[in-house]
Structure 1
């Protein structure tokens, strides 16, 4: 697999080159010191994957990744950075992985193996879904937990529940808190989630039905979720219309 390494720090770049060069089936075809150089090198060398730093002069890694997405054969991007606060931006440009420095040999090998699988499928999964305005649609939600940055597949999310300034994300393996608003999430995923209450969005993927509770309130049943979520009266008609289309 053809790999390009982009980092403005030569020592960090050299270390990644050594790690990749020691792995079977991996070939470092280009190096770059900033995002602008990466674009030029990518056009010339056609890498399958780019190991990309984020904070770089002239053009940072996020902007470079945005431009790479528009190329005829966009490479997969794995961000390798010392800063965890860019995870949300990274997955908005559909990075395959986000590794924190110092990058371990095992983590890098696992990330490249993922890309190798994607490459055999012509990197179909790397090409981002797009909004109507042409911007990339996230496939993961990132959350800060005691483990660091945790990534939750959007397809695995059952619901979003607002609680004061945070939003609870209920997914297949539990719950996490994120610092995003329901409005932002509703606007980003209009065909995957529907609002049932001023403080709740539910996944259409897991929606099983709506029923009346013994207390006279409408509730929804979600596959894999024991709790019933309340549907406000103002959202009942809209939910019925959505369910009729499913």
Structure 2
């Protein structure tokens, strides 16, 4: 089955090149059923025709590709989005709007074919039951790389100086953000144990007496998967006890 594709780029030459490359893709194959030079033309095409995929440039006159991707995501049955752009610094934004892939110009046939395969796999995954919610992730930039860390793997989030340490069983990441915002967003999954720390509710193993050189006698929580103890403030102690008991 061929993927039905809408190509969105303000440069006619770029659209033509993508059309040629798509014609050479075989597993899966693709048909270009529409082209657009800006967001308005793209939305008009999307209202007229059902597409499986939108190949989308970021820098365009008027609304840019990221804004268009957000509009596409709000559709009742949105097509997959793959960004195609010369500007690699927008990779984080691409992941934040749930793009399936991010291609940099000039696009190579092999890389485009890989992106189509991701779209195909995502389409099959989309056939899951409606109550099976998509996996929540944190977008983390690390040494020039952009990584998607599943929230289900995170054991704790700890504010240190201007950054947040994101800890999984296997490693630590650095995230630029606000602990309060993360607490508000993921209140069902994480609980505050200290002014500078949130822990995954599912990961709590034990509450132990603990002596801290700075804060003296107190309590600390032990999490599944790591040996590190995390201090619990007196203010949060009863909430942690309750979490362990339930």
TM-score normalised by the chain length of structure 2: 0.82
Q: Distance in 2 between matches of 1:86 and 1:164?
A: 26
Give the secondary structure class of the aligned counterpart of 2:95. helix
Q: CA deviation at 1:114?
A: 2.0
Q: CA deviation at 1:125?
A: 9.8
Q: Distance in 2 between matches of 1:67 and 1:192?
A: 28
Q: Which runs of 5+ in 1 are unaligned?
A: 130-136
Give the secondary structure class of the aligned counterpart of 2:226. coil
Aligned to 2:223: 222
Structure 2 residue 64 is the aligned partner of structure 1 residue 60: yes
The 5 Å alignment of 1:54-133 reads 54-122=58-126
- Which of 153, 157, 163 aligns to 1:156? It is 153
Alpha-carbon RMSD: 2.9
CA distance 1:234–1:75, change in 2 (3 Å): same
Aligned to 2:237: 236
Give the secondary structure class of the aligned counterpart of 1:58. coil
- Which of 205, 212, 215 aligns to 1:209? It is 205
Give the secondary structure class of the aligned counterpart of 1:86. helix
Greater Rg, structure 1 or structure 2?
2
Give the secondary structure class of the aligned counterpart of 1:152. strand
Aligned to 1:134: none
112-121 vs 236-245, greater mean Cα deviation: 236-245
Q: CA deviation at 1:182?
A: 0.9
Cα pair 1:69 1:127 within 8 Å, conserved? no
TM-score normalised by the chain length of structure 1: 0.82
Aligned to 1:27: 31
Structure 2 residue 165 is the aligned partner of structure 1 residue 168: yes
CA distance 1:155–1:97, change in 2 (3 Å): farther
